[in-house]
Amino acid sequence: MATITSPGIGSGLDVRNLVNSLVASEGRPASNRLDRQETKLQATLSALGSVKSSLSSFQSAMAGLTNLSTFQKRTASSSHTDLFTSSVVGKPVAGRYEVEVKQLATAHKLASEGFEQVNSVIGTGQLTFQFGDPTKPAQTITIDEQNNTLEGIRDAVNAAEIGVRASIVNGDDGYQLVFSATHSGQDNSLRITVADDDGDNTDTNGLSRFAYDPGAGVSNMTETAEAKNAIIMVDGIQVTRATNTITDAIEGVTLNLRKAEEGTKATLTLGLDKSSGAAAIEAFVTAYNAMVSNLNQLTAYDAETRQAGVLTGDATVRGIMSQLRSVLGDSVSGLDGMLRSLADVGITTERDGTLLLNRATLSEAMDKDFDGIGRLFAASGVASHANVNYLGAGKETLAGSYDVNITQLASRGLYQDATSAVSSLVVDGSNNTFRIRVDGVTSGTINLTEKTYASGDELAAELQSRINGDSTLRGAGASVVVSYDSVNNNFIFTSERYGSESSVEITEVAANGADIGLTANGAASVAGVDVEGTIGG
């Protein structure tokens, strides 16, 4: 038989609610204790988040101080911006310079004869562009049945991106093809030689209508703009450059020439830019004080109310403050100058741990040792030998002294045949071709311009231009410097690469190549070597 029971039926008492109340009463102290612990932990967590935020803001303010360039900025201004403007790119010496712009640089331009149509068929062969600077590589464009019109030649030259821009102008004499050097100056003047498939490379038929080599008596194109260098006077000293943007006349200053006006002199004023460094230091002090004020509030104890801050006595916060005070109070080692501590630039510590910046002291320190301000805050280095140059330091770089001992400098591979001498400066069909291997890369067949050269230096320039213009070598990044040794009457071919992979070897020459000093003598090659030594042992 089943039994049904119900507490309180016999007595009339609400036993269920009475039991629930007794249980709740017993658990309330534990619940309250857990609630208080939760509240405290949440407050602690929030306080630690505030500490982290303060440290992050301070770290961001420090970022500007750790960059040495922040404290090395200069200003440059021109009294006559119609003639030139200026900008600072380094650390120029403060002062004033008198500048006169006598001539602007211009780019070379050549125009062809007029043609009836832009699709007029010209001829086939090869156009080779060379420049006023003989060390610039020769650039060869092949013209075939696919691009042998005025438009086709224009597009082929532009697509090659060789330092020459081609355009077509519809003038009174018809459609004219114009070649313009993409860079100004005499070093970028144009010389055009032609290998014309009609067999005549200098006449006014076929592709040779674009030949332009005044030195060889060939001027089938008309010069419409002369290649000129910029000429300026700086404090009475003439400065000639190929471009109107001059970066090396005054160290650390770029001059942008805008107009030539001979006889008019303008003033360039160079000064120290104190504002950048001062702003970074002020931001550092402000961020540090905000952080300290926040940490002081979180760790304070109010004796009157007997209330402690959320992080009072917290070991982590105490450790952070202790380390910061230690760093800020220390002097920077390794600085021989007068600025070695924050106090030297006007930063002192107040009673509450915040920093006070004396701007007058900071300004005075900048006047006395402008670059020294940067060395106080940012990583810097000084080499004891003029042949070693300090460039910069990374985040993991440790302060200290490092002995640098170079036992072997890197060298470049070269080729010079001591057994061969130049007996002729005439280049013709019997000696105008050769092949060369540079840094392990073998060129295609190299063709020299056939003519009588005025000197060994001129022929050396032609050799260098043609070698560096070879598509195989250029594609591999291999190049050479060719010089004429007047004492031994031969040529020196030097790789532009350093190290043990640097080498030069002439592998093939035309039948009479020895006449102009070209030989394939493997024993004449000297390989480059790698740098060797130790740094810090």
pLDDT band (50, 70, 90) for residue 19: low
User: Does 314 score more than 60 pLDDT?
Assistant: yes
Q: Is the pLDDT of residue 104 over 80?
A: yes
Q: How many CB atoms lie within 10 A of CB 60?
A: 11
Section 319-334 average pLDDT: 76
Burial class (CB in 10 A: 0-12, 13-18, 19+), 453: buried
Percent of the chain's residues with pLDDT above 90 = 55
Q: How many CB atoms lie within 10 A of CB 372?
A: 20
14 pLDDT above the threshold of 80: no
Confidence (pLDDT) at 375: 78
- Give me 105's structure tokens: 């640089």
Say what angle helices 315-329 and 15-65 make with each other, to 10 degrees.
10
**What's residue 56's pLDDT?**
81
C-alpha closest to that of 492 among 414, 378, 431, 420: 414
- pLDDT of amino acid 255: 95
If DSSP states are collapsed to H, E and C, what string results for 391-436?
A: CCCCCCCCCCCCCEEEEECCCEEEECCCCCCCCCCECCCCCCEEEE
Structure confidence at residue 436 (pLDDT) = 97
Determine how many CB atoms are found less than 10 A away from the CB of residue 487: 5
Residue of 393 and 234 predicted with greater confidence = 234
Q: Is the pLDDT of residue 526 over 80?
A: yes
For 315, residues 6+ apart whose C-beta sits below 8 A from its C-beta are none
Task: Give the pLDDT band (50/70/90) at residue 368.
Answer: confident
DSSP string, 220-234: -SEEEE--B-EEEEE
Average pLDDT of the chain, as a whole number: 87
Task: Find residue 168's DSSP bridge partners.
Answer: 177
CA 63 → CA 84, 283, 287, 334, 498, distances in Å? 35, 10, 12, 22, 37
- Predicted confidence at residue 326, as pLDDT, reads 79
Least confident of 105-114, 182-191, 284-293, 499-508: 284-293
pLDDT at 298: 74
pLDDT class of 225 with cuts at 50, 70, 90: very high
d(CA 292, CA 355) in angstroms, rounded, equals 9
Asked which of 305-319, 409-423, 520-534 is least confident by mean pLDDT, the reply is 305-319
pLDDT above 70: percentage of residues in the chain: 89
Structure confidence at residue 8 (pLDDT): 52
Whole-angstrom distance, CA of residue 256 vs CA of residue 66:
31
DSSP 3-state assignment of 268? strand
Integer CA distances (angstroms), 123 to 120, 209, 220, 336, 406, in order: 10, 9, 15, 73, 59
Residues 439-466: tens digit of each pLDDT: 999 999 999 988 999 999 999 999 999 9
Residue 3 has what pLDDT?
55
Q: Does residue 15 register a pLDDT over 80?
A: no
Token pair belonging to 486 = 């007047």
Residue 294 near residue 315 (C-beta atoms within 8 A) = no
3 state DSSP class of 359: helix
Task: Give the closest residue to 138 by CA, choosing from 410, 503, 467.
Answer: 467
Q: How many CA atoms lie within 13 A of 376 on its CB side?
A: 27
The span from the CA of 414 to the CA of 394, in Å, is 36
pLDDT tier at 34 (50, 70, 90 boundaries)? low
pLDDT-derived band at 194, boundaries 50, 70, 90: very high
What pLDDT sits at residue 459? 95
Contact at 8 Å (CB) between 75 and 277? no
| Band of pLDDT at residue 126, cut at 50, 70 and 90 | very high
Alpha-carbon distance 162 to 139, whole Å?
6
Q: Which residues are CB-neighbours of 353 under 8 A, at least 6 positions away?
A: 292, 296, 321, 325
Dig out the tokens for 166 from the structure: 């081609």
Rounded Cα distance between 389 and 406, Å, is 13
In the chain, the N- to C-terminal Cα span, in Å, equals: 99
Q: Is the pLDDT of residue 250 over 70?
A: yes
Mean pLDDT over 374-381 rounds to 76
Under 8 Å CB-to-CB from 24, ≥6 apart: which residues?
none
The helix/strand/coil state of 56 is: helix
Q: What is the pLDDT of residue 11?
A: 56
Identify the top-confidence range among 40-54, 86-100, 102-116, 269-283: 102-116
Tokens encoding 418: 């001591």
434 pLDDT more than 90:
yes
* DSSP codes joined into one string, 174-202: EEEEEEEESS-SGGG-EEEEEEETTS-SS
33 pLDDT band (50/70/90 cuts)?
A: low
pLDDT given at position 18:
64
Q: What is the pTM of this model?
A: 0.67
pLDDT tops 80 at residue 385: yes
Q: Is the pLDDT of residue 311 over 60?
A: yes
Report pLDDT for 328: 74
**Dist CA 516 CA 520 (whole Å):** 13
**Rounded mean pLDDT, 52-59:** 80
Burial class from Cβ neighbours inside 10 Å (0-12, 13-18, 19+) for residue 282 reads: middle
Alpha-carbon distances, residue 406 vs 28, 35, 242, 381 (angstroms)? 79, 70, 38, 18
Greater confidence (278 vs 371) lies with 278
Query: Using CA atoms, how far apart are residues 138 and 308, in angstroms rounded to an integer?
Result: 82
**CB 435 within 8 Å of CB 445:** yes
pLDDT band at 511 (very low <50, low <70, confident <90, very high): very high
Average pLDDT of span 74-103: 91
Q: Which range, 8-12, 307-311, 472-476, has the best average confidence (pLDDT)? A: 472-476
**What does the pLDDT read at residue 379?**
75
